[in-house]
Amino acid sequence: MSSSTQQSQASMLAAAVPVVSVRGLVKNYGDVQALRGVDFDVPAGSVLGFLGPNGAGKTTAIKILCGYLAADAGSVSVCGLDVATHALEVKRRIGYLPENNPVYTDMRVEDFLRFAARARGLSAAAVRNGIDRVIVQTGLAEVYRRYVGQCSKGFRQRVGLAQALIHDPELLVLDEPTNGLDPLQVVEMRALIRELGLTKTVIITSHVLPEIEALADNVVLIHRGKKIADGPLATIAADFSGGLPVRFSVSCSASQFEQLLATLPAQVVENRRAAFAAAMPNVHAAVVEVDGPSGVAALAEAAHASGYPLLELTPLGGSLEALFQSLRFGGEG
Amino acid sequence: MRSLLIARREFFTAFDSPVGYVILAMFPAMAAALFFVLGPFFLQGEASMRGFFAWIPWLLVVLAPAISMRIWAEERRSGTEELLLTFPFQLRDLVVGKFLGAWAILGVALLFTAGVPITLECLGDLDWGPVLGGYVSAMLLGGASLAVGLFLSALTANQIVAWLLGVTVLMFFNLVGGAATASAMPPGFGRLLLAIDFGEHFHSITRGVIGLGSVAFYFAVMVLFLCANGIVMERRRWS
């Protein structure tokens, strides 16, 4: 089957009922409010990126979703079944790779996968098929007979993913799946997840935006236990288009630069006039905020109209990135 | 039986770890040493294992927590508890499975002491009835001790803490009967202390009488602590 037909199938499925539906989820650890009423849906066949700074409550929500923790209030349903009342049925439908990928290091890869398959209640034949399938899918053939503890971190991560896939679950939940991997392993793991996302409903959490940008169709952005944005990445980016930071630099005198800044159709964030003063007295730079891509064009026009040579005009990342950075530095929630 | 899957994993993991081998080697060695060397075996001049079984409760005070200490604490320390609890198991399958696995390990350790009765059989005419009775009661006492140890292992992520707690609590349950006869003890309370003494029930069985009360006592202890174990696990989901 080609990937385009798989994708069209996935988008057809997306029209149906959501695979995951979370409503008003609340969880406190003592005095600490980890989740303060979170709602979101995951449409069938889509990849949801669950994004937030460390400590935002992502992992807590995932642990409730997978039945490891109990919620203080609110509900989670998976495939129409409530997690609180139909725990076993829900757990059977989920393949879960917990944060930090806990695996039994004292078992051989094959024994661990067999245990995971039987734990999911598969029949003897399904256990064999499942193991054969995930060994190929996750590329574990060369470490199959090794102890999990003797595998490299990259392979261990694949073992974790393999146990989550062994029963061909309807929903795949991956909590920080590329955390701690080296750059090459990150690329491999992302490719694997992207492939899985073609045919499965996937929830993937991350505290790094590029990961979510690379993998997810929809994003839920949470901060300090509250959802602050929800939807396709492009839509969220548009919602937060208030300030797109742009670095620009022109060649002129200091007073001319001040005048130019005052007339720009943008807000000055940081004036770096002095930055190049010693080496190049006529080069002046500033970081300004404009309203999205059209603002960048207006800025270029204004600089051109002034007649000073324009040396640089660089948008500094997407507006979502800027928002996300501000959350991250605004304090851990 | 879903719990057998868990039991099997516990059992075979124990034989894959150095701790498992140490336990399996130490227990028969200590049992034999205490019996043949420290006990009055060579003075009593009869082929009886009474002296051997007299040591069993004390050996189990050390051994049972050594088997059980790892079982929950290690899952929690390594995070695999999350994996286990998000697999589609009922909590009771997990608790019972872990217990059965631990019990089977203890069974193998006891089996390894078979050299003692076989030696006695060679030296003289051994009456096998009390020997089998002794082993059955050792399994019962061991099961109760393991249930206590598992419960304590579920309270911590540190195996050493689990072991120390286990030894302390089992020590209490093995000594409490001794306080029953103290002169200052009110008789009713004394009887209660005697009734919950682990060793007291053990010795009444090894004397040759497998009293239904003592068997029921050990099973009641197992059920009680396994339930407590389950409650601890369930409560943690809500904390």
- ipTM reported for the complex, 2 dp: 0.90
In chain B, which among 84-113 make CB contacts under 8 A with chain A? 84-90
pLDDT the model gives residue A91: 96
- Residue A275 and residue A209 in one domain: no
pLDDT the model gives residue A14: 46
Is B129's Cβ below 8 Å from some Cβ in A? no
Q: Measured between CB atoms, which of B2, B82, B87 is closest to A102?
A: B82
- Residue A179 and residue A281 in one domain: no
Tell me the pLDDT of chain A averaged across its residues: 85
CB of A157 closer than 8 Å to CB of A179 = no
Domain that holds residue B199: 2-238
Pick from A60, A63, A92, A115 the residue to mutate for testing the B interface (most B CBs within 10 Å): A115
What's the rounded Cα separation, in Å, for the pair B239 and A200?
A: 32
What's the rounded Cα separation, in Å, for the pair A138 and A108?
A: 16
Measured in degrees and rounded to the nearest 5, phi and psi for residue A77 equal: -125, 140
Record: contact A67-B16, CB cut-off 8 A: no
Cβ-Cβ contacts under 8 Å for B196 (sequence gap 6 or more)? B173, B176, B177
- Residue A93 and residue A216 in one domain: yes
A48-52, A62-66, B84-88: which has the minimum mean pLDDT? A48-52
Record: contact B87-A68, CB cut-off 8 A: no
- Residue A189 and residue A312 in one domain: no
**Amino acid, res. A60:** T
CB of A291 closer than 8 Å to CB of A215 = no
Is B17's Cβ below 8 Å from some Cβ in A? yes
Instruction: Name the band, by pLDDT with cuts 50, 70 and 90, for residue A332.
Output: very low
- Whether the per-residue pLDDT at A239 is higher than 70: the answer is no
What's the rounded Cα separation, in Å, for the pair A96 and A84?
A: 17
Domain boundary among A176, A207, A239: A239
**Amino acid, res. A151:** C
Taking the CA of residue A28 and the nearest CA in chain B, the distance in Å comes to 8
Domain that holds residue A319: 244-329
Record: contact A106-B87, CB cut-off 8 A: no
- Residue A234 and residue A252 in one domain: no
Section A257-283 average pLDDT:
71
Q: What's the total number of domains in chain B?
A: 1
pLDDT the model gives residue A330: 52
What's the rounded Cα separation, in Å, for the pair A90 and A82?
A: 8
- Residue A253 and residue A285 in one domain: yes
Q: Measured between CB atoms, which of B5, B13, B83 is closest to A102?
A: B83
A31-45, A167-181, A232-246, B163-177: which has the minimum mean pLDDT? A232-246
- Residue A15 and residue A124 in one domain: yes
- Whether the per-residue pLDDT at A331 is higher than 70: the answer is no
Record: contact B90-A88, CB cut-off 8 A: yes
Residues of A with CB under 8 A from a CB of B: 29-30, 63, 66-70, 87-89, 91-92, 94, 96, 98, 100, 102-107, 115-116, 118-121, 163
Using a CB-CB cut-off of 8 Å, the residues of chain A touching B70 are: none
Instruction: Name the band, by pLDDT with cuts 50, 70 and 90, for residue A181.
Output: confident
What's the rounded Cα separation, in Å, for the pair A156 and A170?
A: 23
Record: contact B87-A69, CB cut-off 8 A: no
**pTM check: above 0.90:** no
Q: Measured between CB atoms, which of A30, A70, A96 is closest to B86?
A: A96
Is B78's Cβ below 8 Å from some Cβ in A? yes
Domain boundary among A184, A208, A239: A239
Tokens 């939807």 correspond to A231
Record: contact A104-B80, CB cut-off 8 A: yes
- Whether the per-residue pLDDT at A24 is higher than 50: the answer is yes
Pick from B87, B159, B236, B238 the residue to mutate for testing the A interface (most A CBs within 10 Å): B87
Q: Which of B232, B72, B224 is nearest to B148 (CA)?
A: B224
Taking the CA of residue A31 and the nearest CA in chain B, the distance in Å comes to 11
Q: Measured between CB atoms, which of B13, B89, B90 is closest to A119?
A: B89
Answer with the residue of higher pLDDT: A123 or A179: A123
What is the domain-level CATH number for residue A191? 3.40.50.300
Using a CB-CB cut-off of 8 Å, the residues of chain B touching A29 are: 239
Measured in degrees and rounded to the nearest 5, phi and psi for residue A259 equal: -60, -45
Record: contact B16-A106, CB cut-off 8 A: yes
Record: contact B13-A94, CB cut-off 8 A: no
pLDDT the model gives residue A151: 94
- Residue A230 and residue A273 in one domain: no
Section A58-67 average pLDDT:
95
Section A25-35 average pLDDT:
93
Rounded to 10 degrees, the C-alpha dihedral B199/B201/B207/B208 comes to: -140
Q: What's the total number of domains in chain A?
A: 2
pLDDT tens digit at each of 239 positions of chain B: 799 999 999 999 888 888 888 888 888 888 888 888 777 776 666 767 888 888 899 999 999 999 999 999 999 999 999 999 999 999 999 999 999 999 999 999 999 999 888 988 888 888 888 888 899 999 999 999 999 999 999 999 999 999 999 999 999 999 988 877 777 778 788 888 888 899 888 887 777 677 788 899 999 999 999 999 999 999 999 98
Highest mean pLDDT among A203-212, A232-241, A262-271: A203-212
Record: contact A98-B83, CB cut-off 8 A: yes
What is the domain-level CATH number for residue A250? 3.30.70.260
Record: contact A94-B90, CB cut-off 8 A: no
Section A110-118 average pLDDT:
96
Domain boundary among A239, A263, A285: A239
Record: contact A94-B85, CB cut-off 8 A: no
Record: contact A107-B13, CB cut-off 8 A: yes
- Residue A138 and residue A160 in one domain: yes
- Residue A84 and residue A203 in one domain: yes
Record: contact A70-B238, CB cut-off 8 A: yes
Count of A–B CB contacts within 8 Å?
A: 63
